[in-house]
Amino acid sequence: MNAVLLGATRGMGRALARLLVARGDALCLLGRDPAELERSARDLQVRGALAAPPPAFPCDLARPETFAPALDAAAESLGRLDVVVVTAADFAVQTVLESDPDRARALATVDFANTVGFCEHARQILLSAGGGTLCVFSSVAGDRARSSVVLYGAAKAGLSAYLEGLDHRYHRQGLRTVCVKPGFVRTGMTAGLDPPPFAGDPDRVARRVARAIDRGRPVVYAPAVWRWVMLVVRHLPRAVMRLR
């Protein structure tokens, strides 16, 4: 398949890109750092034994004006887009966001409004070609409001709801949405934080996501245990959640 990945230079996105290229998929990389894009493309060239590095184009979730040009260039480069994957996101702990209103506003904008804006461009391209898969990384933080992730969780809750709405509206037209809900995964984004039980690693997450894309599963938790953890958390009384 032909896949475009926004955020493939680090963490879970990098692991997924390596997995996809190893199995023979054609990739196009999007990201905000040209040097990181070039390094990632050359890494994938070696791992996939490719004649040339995968094409790569600048795209920054903080700059909506980059979305359409990047996706158009990716479509022209690959010929057809079968899958668009968004792993890029912003993250900061609640204490930092509460003490810095500008930082909080920037995170909410990138993780919800701008991610939705990017997905809207991708949706139009996929539907114009008869359909395809839009795979976006949300988070278990959006499943239930918690005191430790008030702002980040709210942005991810909105993103998850948006993806479910797309599934309801466009499924019959050939659009498949895959909402990935990672729990705590050991990546650069979570460096310095104490890992909870069931912490995952990027390679295992990548394998679950690739299977979900192939099977068209609308929601996937990674690691898998988080599906059951969040089932319990969603049904805890509000009085219990206030104590957490």
Two tokens at 214? 């192939």
Closest CA to 79 of 113, 115, 28, 124: 28
Q: Nearest 5 degrees, angle CA 218-CA 63-CA 178?
A: 5
- DSSP helix/strand/coil, 91: coil
Q: Are the beta carbons of 74 and 54 closer than 8 angstroms?
A: no
H helices present in the chain, as ranges: 11-22, 34-47, 67-78, 94-99, 101-108, 115-128, 150-170, 202-215, 226-234, 238-241
| Rounded CA separation 156/150 (Å) | 10
| Rounded CA separation 107/112 (Å) | 8
Catalytic positions, written as ranges: 152
| Rounded CA separation 182/16 (Å) | 13
| Rounded CA separation 72/66 (Å) | 10
In this structure, what DSSP letter does residue 236 have?
S
| Rounded CA separation 196/185 (Å) | 10
